[in-house]
Amino acid sequence: MSRSVATGRSAGFNPPNRFERLHVEKPPDDLTQYFEDPDPDRKILTQFYLDHTKSILAKNDSPDLGFTYSINPYRGCEHGCIYCYARPSHEYLGFSSGLDFETKILVKQNAAALLEEQFQNRAWKPQVIVFSGNTDCYRPIERALGLTRKCLQVFLKYRNPVSIITKNALVQRDADILQELASLNMVLVVITVTTLDSGLVRKMEPRTSTPAKRLETIEMLASKGIPVGVNIAPIIPGLNDVEIPAILREISDCGARYANYSIFRLPNSVEALFLEWLGRELPAQAPRILKRIRDIRDGKLSDSTFGKRMTGEGQLAHAIEQLFEVNRRKFGLSQKSLMLSVEHFLKRVTGQPSLF
């Protein structure tokens, strides 16, 4: 009996939380006749919870990442990308990395106030903060809550540089703030483009913006003088690696300044979720995709080793790197990164007038 999948969701189930001793499973196929489906239409609504965190910046020391601090106004993500490396982080909250990650979202309503406290701290040294390092800061609920926009206003107020990573065209809403930051060389927007196939996006990233909207976003931001880069991520061997030249050509035409990529990885329970999704959505392609994933992971499906987890290894990984580099140069995307300015930072201590 095939598993019923929730409408608009990519995860087909909730894998067990590795930190919890108990978990709920669906009844075996031979017993399902005795259970009434509480949700016959499989429409699982998104639930939101207040997150009373006392700090807003997350610090990392990973040698694979080019930044120290990131900011995440939300935990969990409605976008529901089946491959998302952030899914296992939901287990620390007592939830599952599957459907729970897509439908149980924590909201940090005081994110902007916490960020301002950080900038007012005398020990703070201005530096680039990545927005967001874990889950997308632009998602459906952001339209109503505007937490990301409020935080961007704080970045502008204190003149602290920020880099934004998103798959959502909603970033266009904040072009006014981004233009002001760009005038001081304090912002870079990175649009993630996984594929140009809108049908694949609906299956793999069900609540993200379409490829056409992402390209439109690149063009719109670039036209306003806002630096835009693109991350082709994740590259899944046997699925979207062949699209690398086409994606680079399209983003170059839209005005992107630079491009990067990262290889697909399957940390912890993401492996079970992806395998179930692959067998359900792309059964004919599954054997080839799995073989090629193992080709870049030394026979395994995943490798968390620093220096390898985001690039892979072996001949196929090298071929992907060469394909990317040749086309990156061909389409004029030679600028690999952008150095943002920290020289404009304004220290504003509460209760004292600014010297500026």
Domain ranges across the chain:
29-330
Express as a percent the part of the chain with pLDDT over 70. 88
Q: What is the C-alpha to C-alpha distance for residues 61 and 201, in angstroms, rounded to an integer?
A: 32
Q: Which residues contact 116 (CB under 8 A, 6 or more apart)?
A: 154, 157, 158
Q: What's the pLDDT tens digit per position in 87-107?
A: 999 998 999 999 999 999 999
What integer is the mean pLDDT of 206-228? 97
Residue 323 CA to residue 325 CA, distance in Å, equals 6
Per-residue pLDDT tens digits for 142-199: 999 999 999 999 999 999 999 999 999 999 999 999 999 999 999 999 999 999 999 9
**Domain 29-330 of CATH type 3.40.50.300:** no
Peptide bond into 334 cis (omega under 30): no
Q: Is 32 helix (H, G, I), strand (E, B) or coil?
A: helix
- pLDDT category at 350 given cuts 50, 70, 90 is low
CB distance 193 to 214 below 8 Å:
yes
pTM, two decimal places: 0.88
Task: Point out which residues pair with 48 in neighbouring strands.
Answer: 105
